[in-house]
Amino acid sequence: MGFGTTGKILRVDLTYGSIREETFNETIYRCYPGGKALAGYLMLRELPQHTDPLSPGNILILATGLLTGAPLATTTRFTATARSPLTGAYGESEAGGFWGPELKMAGYEAIIMTGRAPSPVYLSINNGRIQLKDAHHLWGQDPDKVQTKIREELGDTKISVLQIGIAGENLVKYASLTHNMRHYNGRNGMGAVMGSKNLKAVAVHSSNNRYSDIAHDARALAELGKRLSKQYKDHPQSWALHEKGTMPLVGGLNSAGMLPTNNFNSGVFDGVDNIRWEAFDKEILVGRQSCYACSIRCKPEVQVDGRYKVSQKYGGPEYEAVAGFGSNCGVDDLQAVAKANELCNRYVMDTISTSATIAFAMDCFEHGIINLEETGGLELRFGNANAMLQAIEWIARRKGFGDLLAEGTLRTAQTIGGGAVDLAIQVKGQELSMHDPRGKANVGLGFAVSEIGADHLVSMHDTLFQNDKSIAFQGAKALGIRNAFPATVLNDEKVEQYFLCENWVSLEKVLGFCYFGPAPRSFIQVDEVIEAVQAATGWNIDLEELLLIGERATNLARVFNTREGFTRADDTLPKRLFTPLDAGPLKGVTFQYKEFNDALTTLYKIKGWNPATGIPTYQRLESLGLGWTVRESGMQENG
């Protein structure tokens, strides 16, 4: 009987090839129980200030959540954390799938990678045997070959292989990680960090252990798991996810006037019928896959044998990739969109940042800021699918104009000049996900304030809380959400809703829950999350303590950014979002600078951060048990 953790972390020094275990006591885990919190704790404790993200000095942390691998639907996630080469800020990227549960079963809460291997290696953790192995022959190879080869070498067809692709080897600033060729730590360039360490892959498998070995009350956890495995069928949003994945968002957001189109120039896409769910289902969808222990099975598999050839082996695009390479690049060819997604998965690059960077380049081309000479002959006009696909190849290989695009929108814009920065749809250097904040005000607040740069999974989306009769709204009441508002409203109560939901979503990343598991978005109710933590740990823990853990994790990342020089001035939105939408139901709607700045001030006050600087106050950090971070980070005690 345990408290839901193995207690152990693994330290791998790639420079010297040394590997050792370390055990943390229960007191540490009660404050930083896993995932985002544990990684944040380690980042502040161990990473020196101003470390170059692609130097051997950066650390790469792979950390499971407290409940990762528990016999509960959607407890699948692990985080990859390092200083981000894309933003220079706190870098973090979660993935579901199977690798996190495998690491937990192998007996570790986290792996901390330091240094740089003298030549390419991979790490194998296989039924208790841990080794660094030569990876010369795997460098430059596609993920399917790498996975097959590693499985052959280790004689284990089930081992879960987390790896970088050639984008990571080439230090593309938004290179990602993939495992089992279906699951991605997409954001913030964690693949480039791993590539800079000459680390090709981390393969993990353990056939001997189960989560029940470390759970406080394995029987209670199993009973809860049985209940939850059916519960999603009674929840409309979870059932819709099971039936159609995230693809219905394409048509839904277009009808609402907020489908990112032509680099966020519009919220309505003329070619939407060719890329919406109905076309996707009819033309390219061939199957579905799932993550560990999850009956929702929301992940699509596609195949194309037409204008383009797309293999099922890399899974298939979800909403973000379809909107990113579809409407936001002005492309209404679903086969081309599927091909673009396949290329990103093959080269292991973030589909959001890749598509957004190409959309930005198209905007620059359309404005005459760049021309054919500068692009090396690529006619980067909105709707040019072949140019889009060529650009992906060039980015991954850092060839020609692709070498510049591989730096992301902000650096590319700063290099190009000529007003390009105004067309870069990014925050802190990270490209926006495919959600237009002019239609969802709190999503905009999240894009601005997020420590990792713009991302759509830092709080809940306003659209869930427009109707107080909806099941999502009912599920949110336990968190303190009291009143429904239109999604475009940004008043003080909406800001408070943002704060409550941000702490909850942060907690999900600590526990290892998929965003599509717990309420208000989905079917696992707030009291069932508490029940799960109590059964796993034996702790007498309540919602208040859990929300504080979520808030603590966010503050760890915030302190990290403060240490690196980020301030309120970095919590902003791209200029374009302060111009009105041009068509559809939201025609004329925009963010107002004053309203946005007032909301930011209100949020800082709620969070206990200095409203002028955005820096957490010493008093707030003390109350979160983070007084030590002030001394570690060199922040002033008066905030």
Binding residues for ligand SF4, per CB under 6 A?
Answer: 74, 76, 96, 290-291, 294, 296-299, 514, 516
Query: Which burial class, exposed, middle or buried, applies to 45 when counting CB atoms under 10 A from its CB (0-12, 13-18, 19+)?
Result: exposed
Token look-up 């394995």 returns 218
- Ramachandran angles phi, psi of 506, nearest 5°: -60, -40
Across the strands, what pairs with 129?
126
Minimum separation from the CB atom of position 96 to ligand SF4 (A): 4
Minimum separation from the CB atom of position 416 to ligand SF4 (A): 37
**β-sheet with 60-64: strand ranges across:** 18-23, 8-13, 110-114, 60-64, 78-83, 90-95
Distance CA 452, CA 438 (A): 21
Distance CA 345, CA 479 (A): 37
Q: Is 476 helix (H, G, I), strand (E, B) or coil?
A: helix
Q: H helices within 72-189, ranges in order? A: 99-105, 143-154, 166-169
Minimum separation from the CB atom of position 572 to ligand SF4 (A): 31
Distance of CA 543 to the CA centre of its chain: 25
Q: What DSSP element (H or E) covers 63?
A: strand 60-64
- Planar angle of CA 20, 23, 27, nearest 5 degrees: 155
Residue type, 148: T
Q: Most distant CA pair in the chain: distance in Å?
A: 66
Using an 8 Å Cβ cutoff, are 63 and 92 in contact?
no
DSSP label of 477: G
Using an 8 Å Cβ cutoff, are 340 and 334 in contact?
no
The per-residue DSSP string of 2-25 comes to -SSS--EEEEEETTTTEEEEEE--
Print burial letters for 502-534: b (CB count within 10 Å at least 16), e (below 16).
bbbbbbbbbbbbbbbbbbbbbbbbbebbbbbbb
Using an 8 Å Cβ cutoff, are 66 and 4 in contact?
yes
Q: H helices within 32-111, ranges in order? A: 35-46, 99-105
What would the two tokens of residue 319 be?
């909403």
For residue 484, give the nearest of 460, 515, 507, 505 by alpha carbon.
Answer: 460
- Planar angle of CA 301, 195, 412, nearest 5 degrees: 85
Distance CA 49, CA 57 (A): 10
Rg (the chain; Cα; Å): 23
How many alpha carbons lie under 13 Å from residue 636 in its C-beta half-sphere? 7
Nearer to ligand SF4, 103 or 388 (CB): 103
- Planar angle of CA 572, 574, 576, nearest 5 degrees: 140
Helix axes 409-416, 351-366, angle to 10 degrees: 20
Minimum separation from the CB atom of position 197 to ligand SF4 (A): 28
Give the Å distances, CA to CA, from 405 to 48, 388, 429: 29, 12, 13
Cβ atoms < 10 Å from Cβ of 18: 12
Distance CA 396, CA 354 (A): 10
